[in-house]
Amino acid sequence: MDGLSRRNALKAGGVLGALGALTKVTPARAEPWTWSPQGSVAGTGAGADPLTVWDPEADELVAGLLDRAEVSRVNDLLRTWTRNGQPLPAGLPSELRDFMEYARQLPPWADQGKLATAVDFNKKRGLYLGVLYGLASGMMSTVIPKEARAVYYSKGGHDLKDRISKTAKLGYDIGTANAYAPDGEMVVTCVKTRLVHAAVRHLLPQSPHWMYSAEEEIPISQNDMMVTWHSLPTTVMKHLTAWKVPIPAGESEGFLHSWQICAHMLGIRDEYIPNSWAEADSQAAQVLDPILAPTPEGIQLADRLLRLGVNLDLAVLSKPVLGAFTRFLLGDKIADGLSIPREPVWSPLLEVSWGPFIAVREGLLPVVPLAPDAYWLFDEFLRQAALIYLAELRMPISIELPQMNRDMSRPPR
């Protein structure tokens, strides 16, 4: 079958017919890759289009573990590795141990002073961050087509709450005072997530459901990781800026630095990691903004996300309220694409009163320019919405390598 990809063989029997069988599907951009590595933390690089780059070090290693059926034993061992400075457990395959010892090292450009300043930022903005990570970043993931399909058809698509809890762990760990310190957990979370990504790259191309729907032959390229990265810190800072939350320059830089290190630890090459917010915005304009679009998979994931609040508070966190806030954060186009209706009370209330609420909360206005009940409602929403994505963190969370794709014959949880 030289020249006939497995994807095209699958599609040949479907709507694409013989023409699809003769055309190899490859990643493509609407416009050529132009972001310069001079704007990265490395300051230099080959400038290769990240759509064509993955994580070969981790990919080959994890593919071998899966093919040799060693993943169960590895997962058992890695459950005991929870702290950054903790020695790796005995009994790991030697090649995995060597890779993890290398991958757990902070980059030489890590700045402990900036990380300390990031702690101050996270303490002051914790409530905002919880909501933005959950609703802005979390809901945005459902309109990132490649990410939505990868989540939907991989093992994480079966138990979305479990998948969210593991994603929330990354957002929680990076906000702790000891995130990258020996007694923290962020390094562990990043290294395990990097291994999970490698496992998904190996497994998803074995799923006929994913292969039929996806545009690419291998998931989670460097470009895809950057897109997800921008859906987190870049998107969060965009909203905080739009809300006119006062952030000292040092704290803003520290917050970015903590996420730059995160990107490195997840396996994103330094030449793709922006060195400033201006460069982050520039890169996001090329890799994130143009690709946001609903998919059948994303619409289903969004609906399940909007139902997560039902067990916490039926009034403040009902599906319509979470949908209204999603519309407020991500705009009418995305909300309409996800089939989220406009909520007649909350939507206009957010549009008119959220800005003054933030101004009062930040001490920028001396009096409440809206009804006290609305102020309380917004404040309670911030607190309760953050709990949706942190609720599962009360129990120990083990990030483990998947060994299979989602079983599409079973209903999701």
**Mean pLDDT, rounded, for 306-317:** 66
Q: How far apart are CA 241 and CA 10, in angstroms?
A: 46
Categorize the per-residue pLDDT at 1 as very low, low, confident or very high, splitting at 50, 70 and 90. very low
Range of weakest confidence among 58-62, 242-246, 390-394: 390-394
Token pair 């890169």 is found at: 283
Ramachandran region, residue 2 (left: φ > 0; alpha: ψ -120 to 50; beta: rest): beta
Categorize the per-residue pLDDT at 311 as very low, low, confident or very high, splitting at 50, 70 and 90. low
Q: How far apart are CA 47 and CA 359, in angstroms?
A: 42
**Mean pLDDT, rounded, for 99-116:** 98
> How is residue 125 written in tokens?
């903005």
Mean pLDDT of the chain: 87
Q: What is the 3-state secondary structure (H, E, C) of the chain?
A: CCCCCHHHHHHHCCCCHHHHHHCCCCCCCCCCCCCCHHHECCCCCCCCCHHHCCCHHHHHHHHHHHHCCCHHHHHHHHCCCCCCCCCCCCCCCHHHHHHHHHHCCCCCCCCHHHHHHHHHHHHHCHHHHHHHHHHHHHHHHHHCHHHHHHHHHEHHHCCHHHHHHHHHHHHHHHCCCCCCCCCCCHHHHHHHHHHHHHHHHHHHHHCHHHHHHCCCCCCCCHHHHHHHHHHHHHHHHHHHHHCCCCCCHHHHHHHHHHHHHHHHHCCCCHHHCECCHHHHHHHHHHHCHHHCCCCHHHHHHHHHHHCHHHHCCCCCCCHHHHHHHHHHHHCHHHHHHCCCCCCCCHHHHHHHHHHHHHHHHCCCCCCCCCCHHHHHHHHHHHHHHHHHHHHHHHCCCCCCCCCCECCCCCCCC
Q: What is the pLDDT of residues 20-42, one digit of tens each?
A: 333 334 456 778 999 999 999 99
**pLDDT above 70: residue 82:** yes
Q: What is the pLDDT of residues 343-365, one digit of tens each?
A: 998 999 899 889 888 988 888 87
Asked if residues 302 and 148 have their Cβ atoms less than 8 Å apart, the reply is no
How far is residue 115 from each of residues 233, 277, 309, measured CA to CA in Å?
Answer: 15, 16, 32
- CA–chain centroid gap for 85, Å, is 25
Q: Which residue has the higher pLDDT, 14 or 349?
A: 349
Question: Which residue, 207, 260, 245, is CA-closest to 408?
Answer: 207
Asked if residues 245 and 128 have their Cβ atoms less than 8 Å apart, the reply is yes
Q: How far apart are CA 385 and CA 168, in angstroms?
A: 13
> How is residue 238 written in tokens?
């965009």
> How is residue 307 written in tokens?
């139902």
Q: How far apart are CA 333 and CA 336, in angstroms?
A: 5
Question: Which residue, 180, 191, 179, 199, is CA-closest to 99?
Answer: 191
> How is residue 327 written in tokens?
């519309």
Q: What is the pLDDT of residues 256-309, one digit of tens each?
A: 999 999 999 999 999 999 999 999 999 999 999 999 999 999 999 888 888 876
Phi/psi for 40 (5° steps) reads -100, 170
How far is residue 287 from each of residues 215, 235, 319, 329, measured CA to CA in Å?
Answer: 16, 13, 30, 19
pTM, full prediction: 0.90
Q: Is the torsion defined by CA of 281, 57, 60, 401 positive or negative?
A: negative
Categorize the per-residue pLDDT at 11 as very low, low, confident or very high, splitting at 50, 70 and 90. very low
